[in-house]
Amino acid sequence: MSRIGKAPISVPSGVTIDISKGNLITVKGPKGELKQQADPDLEFKLEDGELVISRPTEQKRHKAMHGLYRSLVSNMVEGVNNGVTKELQLIGVGYRCANTGNLLELTLGYSHPIFFYVPDEVKVETKMEKGNPPTILLTSHDKQLIGQVAAKIRAFRKVEPYKGKGVRFAGEQIRRKAGKTATS
């Protein structure tokens, strides 16, 4: 049985979950509202402040969907209740970031600056402090969207393994490689 799927989702106070016909799940909370269309085979029951998801059979597809939708709904509940934050750091000489509203301007060692418009659901903030690498702080109530935006920003200049330069998540460990050695 799916270990993730069988765990109930506790619904905190201030968060409401509405399950309509066709398994459209709507989660509302203090930070916002999210919707997710779930697989029609799964059954959702809201009882005693907990959401329990059950599957009809032991088929591989049903097992996979069971764990997937449990994780998605859990992330929705967490997002509308607490919000989600991701922090990206720019490591490299001359790497800079600035934002004007939701327009992010990145200088990542290319011949031109990169302009990236962050979706309205995600709030972006940039920090340039002396002694620390430039930092991009993303905040939202949608964990899926914020992860997608962070991955897209990171893809502009992935971290290279020799010097460690590039865009990385805060606290991310990078495997470094040894460079060439001279032989005599």
The pLDDT assigned to 1 comes to 45
The pLDDT assigned to 6 comes to 86
Q: Which two tokens stand for residue 160?
A: 């290279």
CATH of the domain at 134: 3.90.930.12
Domain interval for residue 104: 84-169
The pLDDT assigned to 181 comes to 83
Give the helix/strand (H/E) hosting 144: helix 143-155
Q: What's the predicted TM-score (pTM) here?
A: 0.87
Tell me, yes or no, whether 65 and 104 share the same domain: no
The pLDDT assigned to 142 comes to 93
Secondary structure (DSSP) of the chain:
--TTTTSPEE--TT-EEEEETTTEEEEE-SS-EEEEEPPTTSEEEEETTEEEEE-SS--HHHHHHHHHHHHHHHHHHHHHHH-EEEEEEEESTT-EEEEETTEEEEE-SSSS-EEEEPPTTSEEEEE--TTS--EEEEEES-HHHHHHHHHHHHHTSPPPTTT--EEEETT-------------
pLDDT band (50, 70, 90) for residue 23:
confident
Mean pLDDT of 96-106: 93
pLDDT tens digits, one per residue of 57-88: 888 999 889 999 999 999 999 999 999 999 99
Q: Which of 32, 55, 82 is the last residue of a domain?
A: 82
pLDDT band (50, 70, 90) for residue 184:
low
| Domain assignment present for 143 | yes
- Mean pLDDT (the chain) is 91
Percent of the chain with pLDDT over 70: 98
How far is it, in rounded angstroms, from Cα 89 to Cα 171?
9
Tell me, yes or no, whether 75 and 88 share the same domain: no
The pLDDT assigned to 91 comes to 92
Q: How many domains does the chain have?
A: 2
Tell me, yes or no, whether 60 and 28 share the same domain: yes
Q: Which of 26, 51, 82 is the last residue of a domain?
A: 82
**Residue 77: which of 44, 33, 46, 19 has the closest Cα?**
33
| Domain assignment present for 149 | yes
Tell me, yes or no, whether 121 and 44 share the same domain: no
pLDDT tens digits, one per residue of 102-125: 999 999 999 999 999 999 999 999
